[in-house]
Structure 1
Amino acid sequence: MIMSLSDSTAKQYDTYLKPWYQFCISFSINYLEGSVPQVLSFLTKLVEQGASYGSINCAKSALSLLLGSKISTDDRLKRFMKGVFRLNPPQPKYDVTWDPQIVLNFLSCWYPNENLILENLTKKLVTLLAIATGHRVQTLSLIKTQNIQQSNQKILIKIPDLIKTSRPGSNQPLLTLPFFLEKPQICPAKTLVTYINMTKTKRNNCENLFISFKKPYNKVTSQTISRWIKDTLSDSGIDTSIFTAHSTRHASTSAAKRCGVNIDVIRKTAGWSESSKTFAKFYNRDFIESCDFASSIFL
Structure 2
Amino acid sequence: MISSLATNTVKQYNTTFKLWWNYCLKNHLNYLEASKAAVILFLTKQYESGASYGTLNSHRSAISLLLGNNIGSDEQVSRLLKGVFKCRPSIPKYNTVWNPQVVLDFMENLFPHTDLTLSQISKKLATLLALCTASRVQTLSLIKTNCIVIHQEQIIITITNLIKTSAVNREQPTLVIPYFTDKPSICPAKCLEDYLEITKNIRNDSSNLFLTYKRPHKPVTSQTISRWIKNMLAESGVDVTRFSAHSTRHAAASTAHAAGVSLDAIRKTAGWTATSQTFAKFYNRPIISQELARSVIETNN
TM-score by length of 2: 0.95
The code of the aligned residue for 1:105 comes to: D
The code of the aligned residue for 2:12 comes to: Q
Residue 294 of structure 1 corresponds to: none
The code of the aligned residue for 1:27 comes to: N
The code of the aligned residue for 1:116 comes to: L
**1:37: how far off?**
0.6
Alignment of 1:88 with 2:88, yes or no, is yes
Question: What whole-Å deviation, never above 9, does each CA across 1:188-226 have from its counterpart, x for those lacking one?
Answer: 000001111111111111111111001110111100100
Alignment of 1:252 with 2:252, yes or no, is yes
SS of the counterpart of 1:156?
A: strand
The code of the aligned residue for 2:88 comes to: N
**1:104: how far off?**
0.4
Residue 116 of structure 1 corresponds to: 116
Residue 211 of structure 2 corresponds to: 211
Please, what is the CA RMSD of the aligned residues? Answer: 1.0
Matches within 5 A, 1:12-31: 12-31=12-31
SS of the counterpart of 1:149?
A: strand
State the 4+ residue runs in structure 1 displaced beyond 2 angstroms.
none
CA distance in 1, matches of 2:84, 2:142: 37
CA distance in 2, matches of 1:73, 1:92: 24
Matches within 5 A, 1:220-231: 220-231=220-231
CA distance in 1, matches of 2:194, 2:66: 50
The code of the aligned residue for 2:117 comes to: I
Number of corresponding residues: 291
CA distance in 2, matches of 1:254, 1:78: 32
Identity across aligned pairs (percent)? 52
SS of the counterpart of 1:202?
A: coil
**1:73: how far off?**
2.5
SS of the counterpart of 2:200?
A: helix
**1:61: how far off?**
0.1
Residue 293 of structure 1 corresponds to: none
Question: What whole-Å deviation, never above 9, does each CA across 1:166-195 have from its counterpart, x for those lacking one?
Answer: 111111000000110010000000000111
Question: What whole-Å deviation, never above 9, does each CA across 1:263-298 have from its counterpart, x for those lacking one?
Answer: 1111111111111111011100011213xxxxxx9x
The code of the aligned residue for 2:186 comes to: I
CA distance in 1, matches of 2:204, 2:75: 58
The code of the aligned residue for 2:45 comes to: K
CA distance in 1, matches of 2:58, 2:102: 36
SS of the counterpart of 1:274?
A: coil
The code of the aligned residue for 1:281 comes to: K
**1:27: how far off?**
1.1
Residue 69 of structure 2 corresponds to: 69
The code of the aligned residue for 2:285 comes to: R
CA distance in 2, matches of 1:140, 1:157: 10
